[in-house]
Amino acid sequence: MSDQFIFENKTYDEVQVGDTASLTRTAREEDFLVFANVSGNLNPYHLAAYAQEQEGLPETFAPGLWVGSLVSAVLGNHLPGAGTIYRSQHLKFHDMCRAGDELFVEAKVIAKLPDNVVRLDTKVVRKSDDALMMSGEAEVLAPTKKLRFDALPAPELILDHHPHFETIIEQAQKLAPVTTAVVAPEEEKSLGGALLAYKKGIITPILFGCTEKIRAAAEKIGMSLDGIEIVEEMDHARAASKAVDCIADGKAGALMKGHLHTDDLLRAALRKERGLRAGRRFTHVFVLDVPGLNHPLLVTDAAINIQPDLKTKADIVQNAIEVAISIGIEVPKAGILSAVETVNPDIPSSMDAALLSKMAERGQIKGGIVDGPLAMDNAVDLAAAHTKGITSEVAGKAEILVVPNLDAGNMLAKELAYISHAEPAGLVLGARVPIVLNSRSDGDLARLASCAIASLHHARIGKKGC
């Protein structure tokens, strides 16, 4: 191990007045969120990027004690180092630290007192302009035993927040609200998601269903229906048909599932007369915001096509590429999943994956980069791809995961949601308009993000078909 990863303390006898130690640290919004979790300090000025309801908070400021805590790293790691015990710390704050500031933290010994006590001058300075952020004095018990040890790697923390969805929602709020036919929003979650998207300026809902149930659901969640059109229809199948009529008449640009069976909704959308067919198969895509992943992840098809053939898979890939572009991924990378990363005639999914890759090369699938077969590990992890010797623009960097069948897709998406704490948005593509299709268990963020993605996709694709 390199010497830079080895810490050696100074015992009380070794410490001399005038000794100094320092470190440099960049303040990050993620640090403030971790500090909020540990301390319980939820002041929105320190969490502006995550406080969606707050206004007038253009910058995120560091909590004062987070800045002060950096001193303890100098004392505990360097001077006096391992074995140091705090007795007191005086802090005076001179300026506000903002996310992105690079900080210089220093401790200097100013006195040695009896009983192994050492007094140090401590300060934190912003490097960009040498502004003093914090000053003070610390008194510590210095160690009496000499220690030399390897730096301990701190456990990696993955924050359970969803910045990609926050960005997508912000982008959608810049567009004109898309009029959305919402079918049977007759319970709290389905109605609440639509009303939240309305409140955020993403959609203008028209509600189709039982007026009495819709109003009761609104009362339960304490939200107003003022100014929102309700089309009375007790029967869910007929409500879905009326919603599709609304879209066929040009009065709405998106369809949203409420509290009804998916079959009833899609049956109306797929009807031959005045339906929503647009030339491609209807396919479903999960857009997932996975904590710790630096891009949205799309998983398809996980809800509609049970055992898709090659032609259907081509539509699945093309539809996913289209929506990935709509949410800001310029040239989406689609990994076609199989159990192996080599073509094996005994594994049909590997054969389909190879054919889909060749179809993309020949321009039969457009707008993205397609490669397969890829196993799950080497589709999303560069180290795994390198270990297997895979040279590919997609391997280790896939933004779209195309699964062999509905079973695999549904399991993968729900594993990411329930084990990796991903937030899932759901959309049906291939229709004339985007269809928002959420699970009954989805919360507000998933439904809001689904509406935002539908809005962005509608704005880009328009009447050409989604």
Each residue's pLDDT tens digit, 329-376:
999 999 999 999 999 999 999 999 999 999 999 999 999 999 999 999
Q: Give every CB contact of residue 245 below 8 A, 6+ residues apart in sequence.
A: 274
Residue 401 confidence (pLDDT): 98
How confident is the model over 411-418, as a mean pLDDT? 93
Q: What pLDDT band is residue 48 in, cutting at 50, 70 and 90? A: low
**Type and span of the H or E element at 263:** helix 262-269
**pTM across the whole model:** 0.75
Q: How far is the CA of 262 from the CAs of 120, 183, 193, 438, in angstroms?
A: 67, 11, 17, 10
Give the separation between CA 124 and CA 135, rounded to whole angstroms.
7
Q: Which amino acid is at 216?
A: A
- 52-70 pLDDT, tens digit each: 444 445 567 899 999 999 9
Kindly report, as residue ranges, where domains of CATH 3.10.129.10 are found in the chain. 3-150
**Is it the case that residue 235 has pLDDT exceeding 70?**
yes
Output 160 or 205, whichever has higher pLDDT: 205
Query: What's the angle, vertex CA 21, arms to CA 20 and CA 22, rounded to 5?
Result: 130
Residue 43 confidence (pLDDT): 80
Residue 2 confidence (pLDDT): 39
Residue 386 confidence (pLDDT): 87
Residue 156 confidence (pLDDT): 62
Tokens 């995961």 -> residue: 401
**Is it the case that residue 466 has pLDDT exceeding 60?**
no
How confident is the model over 143-156, as a mean pLDDT? 78
- Name the token pair of 79: 């001077």
**Type and span of the H or E element at 221:** helix 211-221
- The DSSP code for 4 is G
CATH architecture of 163-464: 3-Layer(aba) Sandwich (3.40)
Closest by Cα among 8, 7, 12, 9 to 144: 12
End-to-end CA distance of the chain: 55
Give the separation between CA 33 and CA 142, rounded to whole angstroms.
32
Percent of the chain past pLDDT 70, that is, above it, reads 93
* Inter-residue contact 457 to 426 (CB < 8 Å): no
* Inter-residue contact 284 to 435 (CB < 8 Å): no
Give the separation between CA 37 and CA 43, rounded to whole angstroms.
11
- The DSSP code for 62 is P
- Name the token pair of 40: 């319980």
Q: What pLDDT band is residue 450 in, cutting at 50, 70 and 90? A: very high
Q: Which residues pair with 13 in a beta bridge?
A: none
How confident is the model over 398-408, as a mean pLDDT? 97
How confident is the model over 34-42, as a mean pLDDT? 84
Output 372 or 149, whichever has higher pLDDT: 372
How confident is the model over 72-99, as a mean pLDDT? 93
Kindly report, as residue ranges, where domains of CATH 3.40.718.10 are found in the chain. 163-464
* Inter-residue contact 230 to 243 (CB < 8 Å): no
Residue 61 confidence (pLDDT): 86
Residue 3 confidence (pLDDT): 43
Range in 41-45, 53-57, 386-390, 393-397 with the lowest mean pLDDT: 53-57
Q: How far is the CA of 195 from the CAs of 227, 268, 364, in angstroms?
A: 11, 23, 40
Residue 464 confidence (pLDDT): 57
Render the burial of 308-329: b for 16+ CB within 10 Å, e for the rest: beeebbbbbbbbbbbbbbbbeb
CATH architecture of 3-150: Roll (3.10)
Query: What's the angle, vertex CA 308, arms to CA 306 and CA 310, rounded to 5?
Result: 175
The chain-wide mean pLDDT, for the chain, equals 91
Closest by Cα among 428, 158, 420, 457 to 288: 420
Residue 443 confidence (pLDDT): 82
Q: What pLDDT band is residue 1 in, cutting at 50, 70 and 90? A: very low
Give the separation between CA 277 and CA 17, rounded to whole angstroms.
80
Give the separation between CA 300 and CA 405, rounded to whole angstroms.
9
**Is it the case that residue 447 has pLDDT exceeding 60?**
yes
Give the separation between CA 248 and CA 242, rounded to whole angstroms.
10
Report residue 192 CA to chain centroid gap. Answer: 21
